[in-house]
Structures are given as C-alpha cells and as structure tokens.
Amino acid sequence: MTNYLNHSVSSLNLPFERDIFLRTLIRELSGTLQDVVGLEEASGFISVVGERMGRQINQDYKSALEVSNLSRKQVADVLVDLKKRIQGDFYMIEEDDEKIVFGNRICPFAEKVLNRPAMCMMTSNVFGTIAANNLGYAKVELQDTIAQGASECRVIVYLKLTQEAEDAEGREYFKGLESI
C-alpha cells in the first residue's frame, strides 16, 4: 500500500505505448489462432488480412506515384519502402524478370514475431498481392524467417511460373484473384 501512496499510476515506468500494445495484440491473436486451429489455419486467417492490406497499400502507392500500374522496379522499391516505413529492414538481394529476392534484418513486429510464423503471412500476402496485381503473377516463398529462428529473413517473390518457382514452397497470387 505504501508503494501506491508514493507513486502516481501515471508516473510508473511501464513498457506500454501504442506500438508495443498493437504488436503484442497481434502476437497474442496469432498465437491463440495457432494454438486453437493450428498453424496452417492460423496462417490462412492472417493471409486474408494481409491480402486486404496489400490491395489498399498497392492503391495508396499507385495513387501517390500517379500511375495505374507499377513496373517491376517500382514493385521492388515499393516493397522495400513499405517495410522501412513500418520499421523493418528489408533490402533487395537480387532482381530480374523472373524473381525478386529480399533479405530482412529486422522484423516490423520485432521480438513479438518469435515463434509466430503465422504472422509472416502478412509479408507473403502483402508482397504477393502487390506484385500480382501489377505484374500479373507472383509466388512468394518465405525461405527463412526470423519468426522461425533465423537471424534474417529471405523472401523470394517469383514473377513468372518457371521451374524454379514451381519447385519452390510458397503461395501463388494472380491479378484480381485471391491467393492459392
């Protein structure tokens, strides 16, 4: 009781602010989904949210750039820029007509993503939706993820259905259609 008398509640040094609160909320929601319905189903639910966000983000960038469609280079730049704006550290490793390979040193969800691989569906669906809606097709492979304990993420966005893309484990996206 004396502690309470000596400190006002508003002056307590606690780690609560909007960003940490929202990241914790998403972590707990995805963890609950993973525990209740399993990783695959949880990933599916989060995919729906990621796809919707991807469509909105795509429209926002196209409007800001005053274009009706993004080029391959613009898609790559938009994906890196988006992640930087939300405090990730994505960078381009490789880009050509067939694929764009990204690395990432810092997840936008920070430590909240650990052991929550379903949260990576946000990246897959946002990247896949933006790429497919501008370039016609995308397949996103989450090759390595911080969520599963890697020191960095490696994300490959295939832009053409090549043998390499076909052999890759990932989700496919098509212009105007939901992911498969």
Residues 167, 104, 163, CA angle at the centre, nearest 5°?
15
Residue 154's domain comprises: 15-174
Within a domain: residue 57? yes
Q: How many residues are given for the chain?
A: 180
Within-domain flag for 3: no
Task: Name the percent of the chain lying above pLDDT 70.
Answer: 94
pLDDT of the residue at 16: 81
* In a domain? residue 6: no
**pLDDT (tens digit per residue) in 43-62:** 888 889 999 999 999 999 99
Q: Which residue has the tokens 């919707």?
A: 52
pTM: predicted TM-score of the whole model, two decimal places: 0.87
User: Does residue 70 lie within any of the structural domains?
Assistant: yes
Q: Are strands 153-158 and 137-144 parallel, antiparallel or unpaired?
A: antiparallel
How far is Cα of residue 57 from the mean position of the Cα atoms in its chain?
A: 12
Q: What's the rounded Cα separation, in Å, for the pair 157 and 22?
A: 28
In a domain, 150, yes or no: yes
The rounded distance, in Å, linking the Cα atoms of 140 and 159 is 9
Q: Report angle CA 41, 56, 29 to the nearest 5 degrees.
A: 35
User: Cβ–Cβ contacts within 10 Å for residue 168, how many?
Assistant: 16
* CA 75 – CA 147 distance, rounded (Å): 24
- Give pLDDT, residue 43: 87
Coil, helix or strand for 69? coil
Question: Given a cut of 60, is residue 12 above it in pLDDT?
Answer: yes
Domain count for the chain: 1
Within a domain: 42: yes
Region for residue 16 given its phi and psi (left: phi exceeds 0; alpha: psi -120 to 50; beta: otherwise):
beta
CATH code of 105's domain: 3.30.1380.20
138 within some domain: yes
Mean pLDDT of all residues belonging to the chain = 92
Spatial contact of 98 and 6, defined as CB atoms under 8 Å apart: no
129-157 pLDDT, tens digit each: 999 999 999 999 999 999 999 999 999 99
Residue 48 maps to a domain:
yes
- State how far the Cα of 109 lies from the Cα of 24, in Å rounded to an integer: 9
